[in-house]
Structure 1
């Protein structure tokens, strides 16, 4: 049966994987440092930051599915998805630079500035990232190769994580530190993001093809959204993936605060990030084989479960030795990679389920739904961190009260535990097992 599936050439998969670099550069940069940059560098109140994160996600609730449906119904000589990637990439790069630029302004104008720039950045990110993720099922019909493609995407995402979580602070210091250092680093990341997405679009050129003689399908947003709501596996995947992202976003948003105010060891940020990152790298080449042996659904659930253990250890012992800290974060870096990678590999299965169940394929809408929940979880995590720090009286660049320190520890380790527990529940209700998917794929092939 595998011979029936069209596959992508390795060189094209490699080129396409550069989208993982472009997408994750901005993702990790915003998740790891934007809250810290706004409060400690730009001088914005934490409550303002939390409000910004929340409002932007309400906007995404409308724009993400619209973008997914627009890309599904795009009909051009360049394909459905590539025109959006190619045209939006330079704009995305520009707004990454502007995110980390801190012009001299009055306090009120600073608030206006961050709202305009961040919301526009979020919109441009939608234009680029949703078509990029929609290309995965277009590149290959083979379920095993789709997992390989996602592993390559996430491998490039690991490169992005290295550039951001390990290299950001040293490079910012090398560029002059403070506002100047962050602005230059933001410009560098913006350029890398643009080029990465252009290479990605190049890789998808042979596969993102429209039949110009075929009658176009009329855009019907209401009907498309109804199909999404009826797709139970997609809804369960969105919840599981979203709560995992929320867990990661919450601890990432307070990561700098934990090292700066709880441990008084900012120098440990790159070292601990290295342990977390390299443990995740070990998993990537193993993931396709493990997923094939264990099954994607079961492996996702186990990954979320075992992500909880190191978090609980550090929650109970937040000032443990550096050896324990790095060991626990290495364990976390390994097991938490499983659900974060598998979510994208399971997305095409949900698209296939929709085609099998309802007779209509909506790769763009499905991708936009997971992209939205990805951004939603990231924003809610950032909102939770900023909001609760504000409640307990956090003030930047001064010694913190015991209440603030306890809150930082809870947000860094306790809140993520809650997120992973929620993902365990939703993934238990995900109905596409490997056996079920073989049936779905076999019936689609017969049609």
Structure 2
């Protein structure tokens, strides 16, 4: 008769900081690319390439809509992948060359007008989807404990801040070399292209990956179950909050340079410097808000961060114009708080993935992160489309050295402030009454660990330099 080991598996020790830092390297090119795409690339195509505001906004929106169905398919494919090389490690390697090709064609050698912009944006989003999904899902399995996840996702975000900061230096480097301002975006492209393979090599070579065991006999995933995942009380709140917390800052990013130059009186270089302050604040904001989450819970920490962020934007119009010191303080405050948004919602998604795996017996991390990635894509599409459409309607002219009327500038100001304040505040309100806290998650992990010990025979590939080890199941085979 089969017997089991009565003792529950010991919880894993806390991850080493060096391991987390190596794993977080994927965040370097991804965060750099996010800043370049959201802040500089749309403006570059409108101002330098000569495509109209409405056409640029429509292209970004169209590609996002086309790209949306891809993420669930990628997430499901990742969750079903089982190789001796790893699960999410393999997909990380696949995503890098796709991303690099698209970066070259968009940032360095753009061609084909609106049609070329749409095609290469689609390829770019495919590459970023693969890397984002594999990185987030891998993080969920790398850090299985409630508070460990806050720590891992916080460090991932802080490392991403470095990538964003480095790409923000490109316009200053271009200016220092006495090159035309139009060379700033191509310089960003070269930087991200070079950084991507280096970062991926560090991640796949130095980070362990454990493939969670599936419970035998479970039914294959059906499309209707995708909607059931979204409709789960905990996941539904995360999805809505993540949509709002992506749309608010994304809306602000699309209008940032226009607002800070034409309304606040800063030069383009000063505005880029203030944006750098906003990004640098994430070095402190991400880990400290992650630490706050270990004290009061992730959902409460989100509510604290969103309330402060909305308040920081409310006071912005009342601050003196063209004052670097005051502007830097305000941007640091907003950036500090914004750094916690995705840190906490992504860590909470990992908790939901454990809850789902306990119920269904299958890994669904990739699919769940595909859902949250969809919210970012939808918000990114609508942020550019809606804000650029509003600017076009109020008569704002985005071309260099254009003279805008006072009415057009007021329309710009209203568009910049109202959207982010509303959506960020709404994102925080989504977590009133949230139930999946530390206590409930600890119960889920205990049950998962006990069950995994019975079925866990998958190889563990510590690093590329190590041999996979086969865990011994804690159940004796039937004799005879």
2:20 corresponds to 1:13: yes
SS of 2:395 mapped into structure 1: coil
Mapping for residues 341-356 of structure 1, pairs under 5 Å: 341-356=343-358
Cross-structure match for 2:209: 207
1:123 to 118, 126, 130: 126
Cross-structure match for 2:311: 309
State the superposition RMSD in angstroms. 2.6
2:409 corresponds to 1:405: yes
Cross-structure match for 1:423: 427
Q: CA offset at residue 325 of structure 1?
A: 2.2
Q: Structure 1 residues 67 and 443 mapped into 2: Cα distance closer, same or farther (>3 Å)? A: same
Mapping for residues 86-165 of structure 1, pairs under 5 Å: 86-101=93-108, 103=110, 109-165=112-168
Cross-structure match for 1:292: 294
Q: Distance in 1 between matches of 2:342 and 2:9?
A: 26
SS of 2:268 mapped into structure 1: coil
Q: Distance in 2 between matches of 1:316 and 1:219?
A: 57
Q: Are 1:233 and 1:430, in contact at CA under 8 Å, matched by a contact in 2?
A: yes
1:334 to 323, 333, 336: 336
Q: Structure 1 residues 217 and 82 mapped into 2: Cα distance closer, same or farther (>3 Å)? A: farther
Q: Structure 1 residues 162 and 432 mapped into 2: Cα distance closer, same or farther (>3 Å)? A: same
Q: Distance in 1 between matches of 2:289 and 2:387?
A: 31
Q: Are 2:64 and 2:377, in contact at CA under 8 Å, matched by a contact in 1?
A: yes
Q: CA offset at residue 221 of structure 1?
A: 4.2
SS of 1:336 mapped into structure 2: helix
Q: Structure 1 residues 256 and 318 mapped into 2: Cα distance closer, same or farther (>3 Å)? A: farther
2:380 corresponds to 1:375: no
Mapping for residues 74-89 of structure 1, pairs under 5 Å: 74-89=81-96
1:366 to 368, 381, 402: 368
Q: Are 2:290 and 2:344, in contact at CA under 8 Å, matched by a contact in 1?
A: no
Cross-structure match for 1:436: 440
| Number of aligned residue pairs | 440
Q: Structure 1 residues 9 and 216 mapped into 2: Cα distance closer, same or farther (>3 Å)? A: farther
Q: Structure 1 residues 313 and 20 mapped into 2: Cα distance closer, same or farther (>3 Å)? A: same
Deviates more, 1:270-279 or 1:68-77: 270-279
Q: Are 2:150 and 2:294, in contact at CA under 8 Å, matched by a contact in 1?
A: no
Cross-structure match for 1:265: 267
2:235 corresponds to 1:234: yes
Q: Provide structure 2 residue ranges, at least 5 long, that are not aligned to the other structure.
A: 1-7, 452-480
SS of 1:427 mapped into structure 2: coil
Q: Distance in 1 between matches of 2:130 and 2:222?
A: 17
Q: CA offset at residue 160 of structure 1?
A: 1.3
Q: Distance in 2 between matches of 1:162 and 1:221?
A: 42
Q: CA offset at residue 322 of structure 1?
A: 3.4
Q: Structure 1 residues 101 and 179 mapped into 2: Cα distance closer, same or farther (>3 Å)? A: farther
Q: Structure 1 residues 216 and 373 mapped into 2: Cα distance closer, same or farther (>3 Å)? A: farther
2:52 corresponds to 1:45: yes
SS of 1:50 mapped into structure 2: helix
SS of 2:165 mapped into structure 1: helix
Q: Are 1:81 and 1:208, in contact at CA under 8 Å, matched by a contact in 2?
A: no
Deviations 1:63-119 (A, max 9, x none): 01110001111122212211221122022122123222355x6xxx41111111111
Deviations 1:403-425 (A, max 9, x none): 32122222332211011122023
Q: Structure 1 residues 261 and 372 mapped into 2: Cα distance closer, same or farther (>3 Å)? A: same
Bigger helix share? 1
Q: Structure 1 residues 219 and 305 mapped into 2: Cα distance closer, same or farther (>3 Å)? A: same
Q: CA offset at residue 240 of structure 1?
A: 0.8
Q: Provide structure 1 residue ranges, at least 5 long, that are not aligned to the other structure.
A: none
Q: CA offset at residue 286 of structure 1?
A: 2.5
Q: Are 1:175 and 1:184, in contact at CA under 8 Å, matched by a contact in 2?
A: no
